[in-house]
Structure 1
Amino acid sequence: MDAAAAAKRRRAGSLLPEVTSKRGRSSQNSRAKPDNESLHTSSEWDESAQVASKREIALFRNSLKQNVCVRMLQEGNHRSFSELFYLLQAERDRRAAAEPSSALSSELRPLLEEQREKLETVRLHMCEAEQAERTGSWPAMCEHRLFLGQFFSAPEDQLLSLHFFHSCADREQGRSSRPATEARACMAELYLQQGELEEARQQAELCIRQAEDGGWLDLSGRPLRLRARQTLWRIYDQLAVAPMDAANYSEALELLHKGYSMATESDDKQIEGEAAHRLGLAYQRTGDHNTAKKFFNTYMQICVTMNDAGGIGKAYKAMAKSMESEGNMEETIRCLEELVHITRINGLLHNLADACLLLGNIYCTTVRAKHINIYSHYIRALEFFIQGYEVSCETGDVSLQQKAQVLVARARAQSLLGTYGADVVSASPGALRRLLVWKNTRETLGAQSRLHRAES
């Protein structure tokens, strides 16, 4: 049995080719006796493969936050690591303390540590800022922090934006540099947007002082001193709202005058015109119509130079209101007729409808104020009310249409009553015939109405 098995193995082995080539022999020898060089190369390859695998495994197993923080520490940026860790933890604490219905607690909004692009951007620029700080390159450090403040422009990232703006502008070193000055301008705008007016005012005023000394431009090429003045005008305008509503007119006017001064120094005619208009409205509210008209005239002249039809219309409307308050109805009508003309030729349909209704009301007011029977004014008022109604139909403004319908009906009734009264006073043959027709028509309409009620 053993002999047969051995013979079988020999027959099977004879079927395999014998490897006798030089290449084969050398290959066998190399496997049998590897030299030192091949052993050294193989061990290096194995070690590098093992190190790479560890890194890949760490990147796969660890969280994005952990990988970013570890990398910052490995690069020696310990300050940046501490700051980033604080920001991430603060965001988690705010999320935990937020009301369930607030935007911060929404599960749809990811945390910063879960957003790869944002987290990598923060890591890069914070580390660059730390390196610049070590070498005393303060403007470069501020540039990186200014970039991060502007990078977080979304409404939900405003706290991060403010953090980086403050870290750029409030440090002892570099606080008078161009990026630090621009950071103050950005903070003033952001605080204004949040309604923190005093903080916005402080930052804007600091920005103006620093920009005046340095003559800085922002990244878009706009002078920072002008940008800060434009923001400061808006801040003063908002600050004046509360005292104006409380009838504290002296404080409100003082703030508005400061805002107007900033606007005139901003090299922006549109802002200057808006500031003049706001001051005019404030003086109009106090009853000082002469001063109000001066500012309205200033606003109108600026709008004319800028070819701003909407602004010109606002100026005429405000001017007409002051003239009406003074009892100057002829000038009021002239202003409103000019307003109708300007809005019509410029296709400002909503403004045109409003102007027509205003002018119709003025014609009716003129009759009531003077206690005279100028029924042609009622007819004129009816014409403008009808125009206002037709234009409101084009705009699709339902509330304006309903208002115009009421005014048309009232003016038509007043004009008919005026015609009836004039015919009664006249007693001429033509007047008597019109009165008879009116009487017969009224009786017919009354009979139809009674029949309709009886049937119903």
Structure 2
Amino acid sequence: MKAAETRHHTEPFLPDITAHLNRGRKTSQHSRMKENPQAGSVLELSPQILSRVDISKFRNSLKLNTCVELLQEGCHRSFSELHSLLSCDRDRRESAEPGTALSLQTPLEDQKDKIQTMRHYLSRAEQAERTNTWTVACEHRLSLGRYFSSQEDLWLSLHFYHSCVDREFGGHSRPATEARVCLAELYLQTGELERAEQQAELCIQQAEDRGWLDSDGLPLRTRGLKALWRIYSRMADLLVDAEEYSQALELLHKGRSMAGKIGDTQLEADATYQLGLTNQRAGDHQRAKQMFSSCTQVYGTLEDDDGLVKSYRAMARSLESEGNIDETVQCLQKLADLSQSSGLRRVQVDSYLWLGKIYYKRGQYTTACDFFQRGYEAACELGDVSLLEEAEVFIGTARAHCVIRKHIADIASAAPTATHRPKTWEETGRLQDFSGDSTDLTDTAL
């Protein structure tokens, strides 16, 4: 009786279904884990719940997220600079004329790569400034200036270069000196020559006796000297256009002196050539010829065909201006031979036509016609229609003069064959061939 009561209190009236199901689940889960050991870890993973920060990154713009990250990192100055640049970009585009390239540019705040690059380098530059490592800070800003190298980002490049050189600390460091020569090159590109000159001269001063190299491994002082030579060259061109030759020559002499300091033979030859051109424009052909003669020697040593071509051309112009026609012809013959051997068809055509014009002016129409014909054949190989048409006009004009000259000579002659020839031309409509230079006599009446 007591045993029955005990069983009644210890055993449940109904079987434990939950426990049975759990045992079944454990057994089936255990068997699946045996078959696939990784299944257990997958089952134990709970669904990932996004935080409010993660959700805000999806909802907010790239600009807002980047600014928030900079503030969270404590980079308040970087935040202010980035925000200012984005505002400046918006104002520039809004003030541009509708339909212009500036107005159609993609907003800077929507260009992810550029935003992230600025965030990266600006934050590191600010961190370097906190530890007074000014050279490192300038290095990061120099990297930003070099990054924004496209034409549409020129304003950003100028901003970061100036933020590198215009600072109280670090403004004389190696990266700041490189930023100066970069500014000189950019200002030369935009035509702001006085600013370009100022930055190039400061670069040369700061790099003097330092042995610094730029980011590409080139000597910074040499790069500054080359930039200053190009600036002087551009300034001289403007002075020549204004017919202020003495000031232009003074600048070009300074530029040539710089090229000599660098030890760059090619650059020195280019500077000498420009000096020759300026003397030529000023009317000093004797001095110009000396410069061009020096250039041909240097360019010949360097095997620079382009340099030789432009030097021979300039020399021929000076010789022709002085009336030295025979020397002009010799110079043009050298130019024609050089262009033929170098495959410079355009130069070859110009040389032959130039020679033809010289002989045409001297009344040697047969020889002129021969050179015009050579120019025409070279123009055919080049495939330049305008040159072909020009050569055809010259050939036709020269041949007409040859025929007229021969016709007049026949009329004036008492020989039977000479008097019969004009009648034959009139009846047949065919012109007999003409050759030889017997008719190439100067005729002032024509």
Residues of 1 paired with 2:183 and 2:416: CA distance?
81
Residues of 2 paired with 1:415 and 1:266: CA distance?
56
Asked if structure 2 preserves the Cα contact closer than 8 Å seen for 1:178 and 1:214, the reply is no
1:79 aligns with 77
SS in 2 for 1:176: coil
2:381 aligns with 394
Q: Tell me how large the CA RMSD over aligned residues is.
A: 2.6
SS in 1 for 2:208: helix
Shift of 1:399: 1.9
1:265 aligns with 261
Shift of 1:259: 2.5
Shift of 1:395: 1.7
Rate the CA distance shift 1:350–1:209 in 2: closer, same or farther, 3 A.
same
Shift of 1:179: 0.8
- In the alignment, residue 404 of structure 1 is paired with which amino acid? A
Matched, 1:63 2:61: yes
1:175 aligns with 171
Residues of 2 paired with 1:206 and 1:366: CA distance?
57
1:18 aligns with 17
1:404 aligns with 391
Matched, 1:117 2:113: yes
User: Matches of residues 188-337 of structure 1 in structure 2 within 5 Å?
Assistant: 188-337=184-333
- In the alignment, residue 395 of structure 2 is paired with which amino acid? V
- In the alignment, residue 18 of structure 1 is paired with which amino acid? I
SS in 1 for 2:51: helix
- Segments of structure 1 that go 5 or more residues without pairing to the other structure are 1-12, 28-44, 368-376, 445-456
1:414 aligns with 401
Structure 1, 77-86 or 357-366: larger mean CA deviation = 357-366
Structure 1, 251-260 or 68-77: larger mean CA deviation = 251-260
Rate the CA distance shift 1:417–1:300 in 2: closer, same or farther, 3 A.
same
User: Matches of residues 86-97 of structure 1 in structure 2 within 5 Å?
Assistant: 86-97=84-95
Residues of 1 paired with 2:410 and 2:252: CA distance?
56
Asked if structure 2 preserves the Cα contact closer than 8 Å seen for 1:129 and 1:144, the reply is yes
Aligned length: 401
Alpha-carbon deviations, 1:346-387, whole Å to 9, x = none?
Answer: 1101111111101111112233xxxxxxxxx32111111111
Shift of 1:441: 4.0
Asked if structure 2 preserves the Cα contact closer than 8 Å seen for 1:128 and 1:144, the reply is yes
Rate the CA distance shift 1:79–1:438 in 2: closer, same or farther, 3 A.
same
Shift of 1:92: 0.9
Residues of 1 paired with 2:371 and 2:338: CA distance?
15
Asked if structure 2 preserves the Cα contact closer than 8 Å seen for 1:296 and 1:318, the reply is yes
Shift of 1:258: 2.4
Residues of 1 paired with 2:55 and 2:320: CA distance?
81
- In the alignment, residue 192 of structure 2 is paired with which amino acid? E
Q: Among residues 370, 375, 378, which one is paired with 1:383 in the alignment? A: 370
- In the alignment, residue 399 of structure 1 is paired with which amino acid? S
- In the alignment, residue 414 of structure 1 is paired with which amino acid? H
Residues of 1 paired with 2:303 and 2:77: CA distance?
55
Alpha-carbon deviations, 1:166-213, whole Å to 9, x = none?
Answer: 111121211111111111111111111111111111111111111114
- In the alignment, residue 390 of structure 2 is paired with which amino acid? K
- In the alignment, residue 133 of structure 2 is paired with which amino acid? S
SS in 1 for 2:234: helix
Query: What's the TM-score once normalised by structure 2's chain length?
Result: 0.84
Residues of 1 paired with 2:174 and 2:75: CA distance?
25
Residues of 2 paired with 1:366 and 1:320: CA distance?
17
- In the alignment, residue 362 of structure 1 is paired with which amino acid? I
Asked if structure 2 preserves the Cα contact closer than 8 Å seen for 1:188 and 1:201, the reply is yes
- In the alignment, residue 340 of structure 2 is paired with which amino acid? R
1:438 aligns with 425
Residues of 1 paired with 2:413 and 2:311: CA distance?
44
- In the alignment, residue 377 of structure 2 is paired with which amino acid? E
- In the alignment, residue 72 of structure 2 is paired with which amino acid? Q
Shift of 1:23: 6.8
Residues of 2 paired with 1:277 and 1:411: CA distance?
35
Q: Identity rate of aligned residues, in percent?
A: 51
Asked if structure 2 preserves the Cα contact closer than 8 Å seen for 1:227 and 1:266, the reply is no
- In the alignment, residue 57 of structure 2 is paired with which amino acid? L
Shift of 1:416: 1.9
Asked if structure 2 preserves the Cα contact closer than 8 Å seen for 1:95 and 1:104, the reply is yes
Asked if structure 2 preserves the Cα contact closer than 8 Å seen for 1:310 and 1:343, the reply is no
Residues of 2 paired with 1:217 and 1:251: CA distance?
33
SS in 2 for 1:218: coil
